[in-house]
Structure 1
């Protein structure tokens, strides 16, 4: 089964949120559209991620779609943790409606409020209603073991 799962292609995303004024970010690869009306998306965060419990306190999030120029930023959020370090210290971002960080290096982002949370084995699935979005020039990248060894 793992061999087949590894053939599923997925992008590289940095999911960000703000909780009690503190900003958090995680690199993830499991993101999907769920509905057009209302506009809904799904993100899945592994329970093995640093600070994954913190995300369960969130009410909002942004999905930052990463392109070639964002690989190092995606690596940064894949290795750092909001509880242990200020992982936004040297990261440029803007905020949309929810206050969740939208990264300068992303090629697009959606700003969401969480409408449902589902415990799903070794992951937690969050469904968010899209409140705002931004699109920039550039193409998204696919997750690979070469980029994230």
Structure 2
């Protein structure tokens, strides 16, 4: 296989940029992720990819729930805040406010929109775990265009 061709082809997959949260025991956790896709309309199913060996992956396995916060174009700084571990103090991750709803997973007040899922299936392969979840709640804070990796000049794949 031509490695450069493979990398170029895989980088052609388009990605949004999201803050994915979960409930970890009595605590909450969140990270920036981009492997998110809807897999079914009825029931409404969404799949996310989460890196193995992380607190978030372990938290989703343990709790069986996650939230996806859809970021708005221009929210690069918000996305970058969750590239590294962040500490929770009350209802904030640093200066980012959140609240909880149906699953107890964090929902960012500044996100464009959000949805929460209960895990229905898990696929454990390679260096990530694929969690499929049924959407159990959702909300819209405002209308706008979602943030994408392309906007940031970042690439994933290869």
TM-score clears 0.5: yes
Q: Secondary structure at the match of 2:23?
A: strand
Q: Which has the larger radius of gyration?
A: 2
Deviations 1:97-118 (A, max 9, x none): 1111111121111111111111
Alpha-carbon deviation of 1:92? 0.9
Alpha-carbon deviation of 1:144? 3.4
- The aligned counterpart of 1:76 is 81
Report if aligned partners of 2:22, 2:56 keep a CA contact under 8 Å in 1. Answer: no
1:124 is matched with which residue: 111, 126, 129?
129
Stretches of structure 2 that go unaligned for 5 or more consecutive residues are: 1-5
Number of aligned residue pairs: give it. Answer: 146
TM-score using structure 2 length = 0.82
Q: Structure 1 runs of 4+ off > 3 angstroms?
A: 48-55, 144-149
What is the rounded CA distance, in whole Å, between the counterparts of 1:114 and 1:120 in structure 2?
17
CA-based RMSD = 2.2
TM-score using structure 1 length = 0.86
Deviations 1:110-135 (A, max 9, x none): 11111111112121000111011012
Give the alignment of 1:47-126 within 5 angstroms. Answer: 47=52, 51-81=56-86, 85-86=87-88, 88-126=93-131
